[in-house]
Structure 1
Amino acid sequence: MTLTDTDLETFARDGHIAIRGAVDRATVDDCRAQLWDLLAESPDDPLSWTEPVRRVDSPMTPSFAAAARSPALTEAYDQLVGPGRWTQRIELGNVAVRFPTATESRDTGWHIDASFLPPGASRYFVNVSSRDRGLLMLFLLSDVGDDDAPTRIRSGSHLDVPHLLAPFGEAGVDMFDIAGELDAIGSRETPERPEVLATGAAGDVHLCHPFLVHAAQQHRGTRPRFLSQPGLMLTEQFDLDHPRSPVEQAIIAGSSGLSPSTAG
């Protein structure tokens, strides 16, 4: 299997694990070339890089489908979420392209990603059982070093979020209503909650617990950074009364104050 027992213990403790080389280089290079074709900016003309970030939906093409269906990733999905409980993507969702500019992007606050739209609501919610979302995934579609706007991760913060969400029950809460609390969780760095950067080579994928608090940052490097951040969506909702996966067990651990290894 893709993940060893040690990897699963790391995911339970930290809320994230990197699958290095999950997508082969030829495939990811072709994905990036297709994205450049959708952008007004030119890869060879830094003078065209005037905005700090551009967002573009990944096309439904064979290369993006191949990246989404990487065998190493699908095995890891089964290990973290459970066989038959997740939906196979055929693309990689929205891609954030960050450029090295002096302009602030104003989207660098600590947060988690919302997961479902209640009937009649205009904004997305999240609830304590992570309705509809099994994982947050960070697909590196370009090489990402420390200066290339890597996603900032508050390691272990997935254990702090269930306690915040529990009072709202299964109905959940509008993400904007808890933005301040999530930013406070992300802003507190302790030895148990260090900041980690989602760096790596093009084709690496960071698999994250859906409650992992993370943040974007400004680009200080020299080459544009391509990152897609799709969710792994559920076909079968998590059952916190009968947890069967590392993701569920971590939610129980965060709700109860137990260590992830003893939860569930």
Structure 2
Amino acid sequence: MPTTGSLGLSSAQINDFIEHGYLKLEHAFDAELARQGRDELWAAMGLSPDEPHTWTRPVVRLGFMSGPTFVAAANTPRLYSAYDALAGEGRWLKPTGLGTFPIRFPSKDAPGDGGWHVDVSFGSENPDFMQWRVNVKSRGRALLMLFLFSDVGQDDAPTVIRKGSHAHIARQLLPHGENGLTLGELAADGFASTEGCEETLATGQAGTVHLCHPFLVHRAQPHRGTRPRFMAQPPLLPKGEFDPSMPPSPVQTAIRKACGITF
């Protein structure tokens, strides 16, 4: 498989993405943008980095942030090249911002949102989140992305990833066709098919982006460090429905490989 140019991913990186379901892209956006983003997020929360006595909740969730700082962070040349390499050249929509932001604070209290899951991608008109859906074509989502706006070490509530879990989910979704499964149906057995997958942590310096297959199983965890963790977890949206007449992207190749589909 060819590389995608001077800013692009190597064949080894793309193959690792197909096999493991994620790619860690360091220096995806500038550390100064990350700092500016943190300042804006502190202001949006009405909290201060210098007043830890006010950090009374384990997690504060902020919605979509569409200011220039966040638009710039999501639209760097390095990221554009990676979007093309993984989702297919020209098959994705330019991000208009970033969100949501689950900002995690050091706390002895469990955040209450640490269950294994995949990020579902359609059916959001249903008010019950557990009824939102995902299908084997990954309708409505080209990638799951984890944008680190702060340095994230092992104690700083990094997202826990099950390597290779995307392949198990693809096989589970295959018999259900266009309709797919709801999050509730997928989670009914606690994602038992992925229990044997090796676990890894989405750590990195501010400016790192973890580009993940839409079917990757992951979970949050409590923050045991000393400084809040700032991360956005937006989708990369596709331009349209899957087109079988076009060469498969690495996202689609991973699904086909998992399902034993020749191409």
TM-score when normalising by structure 1: 0.91
Residue of structure 2 aligned with 1:221, choices 225, 232, 236:
225
2:166 corresponding residue in structure 1: 158
1:117 Cα deviation after fit: 1.6
1:27 corresponding residue in structure 2: 33
Aligned structure 1 segments of 4 or more residues deviating by more than 3 angstroms? 118-123, 239-243
Structure 2, unpaired ranges of 5+: none
The 3 A distance-change label for structure 1 pair 149 and 10 is same
1:172 corresponding residue in structure 2: 180
Q: Structure 2 CA distance, aligned partners of 1:44 and 1:253?
A: 50
1:17 corresponding residue in structure 2: 23
Are the aligned partners of 1:112 and 1:182 in contact in 2 as well (CA < 8 Å)? no
Q: Structure 1 CA distance, aligned partners of 2:183 and 2:40?
A: 32
Q: Structure 2 CA distance, aligned partners of 1:185 and 1:226?
A: 31
1:132 Cα deviation after fit: 1.2
SS in structure 2 of the partner of residue 160 of structure 1: helix
Q: Once superposed, what is the RMSD of the aligned Cα atoms?
A: 1.8
Greater CA deviation, 55-64 or 176-185? 176-185
1:106 corresponding residue in structure 2: 112
Residue of structure 2 aligned with 1:230, choices 234, 240, 245:
234
The 3 A distance-change label for structure 1 pair 50 and 183 is farther
The 3 A distance-change label for structure 1 pair 151 and 12 is same
The reply to whether residue 133 of structure 1 matches residue 141 of structure 2 is yes
Q: Structure 1 CA distance, aligned partners of 2:49 and 2:127?
A: 40
2:208 corresponding residue in structure 1: 204
Structure 1, unpaired ranges of 5+: none
1:51 corresponding residue in structure 2: 57
1:146 corresponding residue in structure 2: 154
The 3 A distance-change label for structure 1 pair 120 and 66 is closer
Are the aligned partners of 1:240 and 1:252 in contact in 2 as well (CA < 8 Å)? no
Are the aligned partners of 1:35 and 1:58 in contact in 2 as well (CA < 8 Å)? no
SS in structure 2 of the partner of residue 169 of structure 1: helix
SS in structure 2 of the partner of residue 218 of structure 1: coil
TM-score when normalising by structure 2: 0.91
1:238 Cα deviation after fit: 2.2
Deviations 1:28-60 (A, max 9, x none): 110111000011332111111111101102432
1:73 corresponding residue in structure 2: 79
Q: Structure 1 CA distance, aligned partners of 2:190 and 2:25?
A: 26
Are the aligned partners of 1:144 and 1:200 in contact in 2 as well (CA < 8 Å)? yes
The 3 A distance-change label for structure 1 pair 118 and 38 is closer
Are the aligned partners of 1:126 and 1:174 in contact in 2 as well (CA < 8 Å)? yes
Deviations 1:6-47 (A, max 9, x none): 101110111111110101011111011100001133211111
Q: Which amino acid aligns with 2:11?
A: D
1:76 Cα deviation after fit: 0.6
Deviations 1:160-184 (A, max 9, x none): 1111112221112221122134532
The 3 A distance-change label for structure 1 pair 212 and 241 is farther
Q: Structure 2 CA distance, aligned partners of 1:103 and 1:132?
A: 34
Identity of aligned residues (%): 45
Q: Structure 2 CA distance, aligned partners of 1:104 and 1:183?
A: 21
1:120 Cα deviation after fit: 6.6
Q: Structure 2 CA distance, aligned partners of 1:152 and 1:35?
A: 23
SS in structure 2 of the partner of residue 96 of structure 1: strand
The reply to whether residue 247 of structure 1 matches residue 229 of structure 2 is no
